[in-house]
Amino acid sequence: MVSVIRSRSALPHGMAIVLFAGLLALSAPVMAQDAASGPAQKILRVCQDPNNLPMSDQQDRGYENKIAELFAKKLGWKLEHSWYPQRMGFIRNSLKAKIEGTDTFKCDVVTGVSTDFEMGLVTQPYLASTYAMAFVKGKGLDAIKTPADLLALPRATRDKLKIGIFARSPASDWLLKNGLIGQMVSYSPQTGDPDQYPGQLIDRDLANGTVDVAIAWGPIVGYFAKQAAGVPITVVPFKPQDDGIRYGFSIAMGVRYGDKNLRDQLNALIASSQPEIAQIFKDYGVPTSALPAPTSAAPS
């Protein structure tokens, strides 16, 4: 999923249970014939960003990496990755791209998409989270327990704050609505530099005092608050919907149109793996909300 969820998107956005036999059924895109061994080898090919923690990275340190590993293990399939920065052209160069000289797609599953994903079939969501605020403990902001508490600070204190946010996000909407644009330090959600990552707002600029408060997608805030070595950071989630602004979004997986069997297999895994998935998010410091009620499977 894109590292930053934008407020203008439909989102940075219960489940259908299939028979056990359905878990073992193969969809054509995930079959690979090994001439040496004879039987077709089952492969879960996932499309992921190589440098987009806490979601994914090429060293398999992200929570999307861990969930993909969990699903492959439960299926008894081999796990393969296709790496491409999750920016403009991501789907074209991953889910819809074929390995040169073959009819095999580079990957079959995007492990993080919004639930309104329109470039393929979408699964039931496996994560619901919100935007979150973060600040360093012991610097005069410890009384803040909700975003409204920041607004209630004395005007002289509030006006001195430097608040780091990503442009065109619910965070910028919140600042604008509450007359805090003058305190905004704006970051680009897509710099074009593959070595840049959204968490730098937290583990670098918030930790070293470049900004006093950071507001970003909750999984990014929660994870990098834990990674800021020696710097105690408090995380304050927003409500999913508050004062006319949407801060909460659900994340699912996406497959190509027509891959209904694979989509249904993933839905079954999402439904049966809730305890393991919840533990992964806990390990990563991800603030979570209640998943939305199950919906009927999307058309194929």
pLDDT digits (tens, 9 = 90+) for 52-87: 999 999 999 999 999 999 999 999 999 999 999 988
- 114 with 260, same domain? yes
Residue 76: inside a domain, yes or no? yes
Q: What is the mean pLDDT of residues 151-164?
A: 95
Q: What are 259-272's pLDDT values in tens digits?
A: 999 999 999 999 99
Residue 197 pLDDT = 81
pLDDT of residue 3: 43
Is there a single domain that holds both residue 85 and residue 153? no
Mean pLDDT of 150-177: 95
Structural tokens at position 266? 């993933």
What is the domain range of residue 35?
A: 20-127+249-283
The total number of structural domains in the chain stands at: 2
Indicate if 175 and 258 belong to the same structural domain: no
Q: Is residue 40 part of a domain?
A: yes
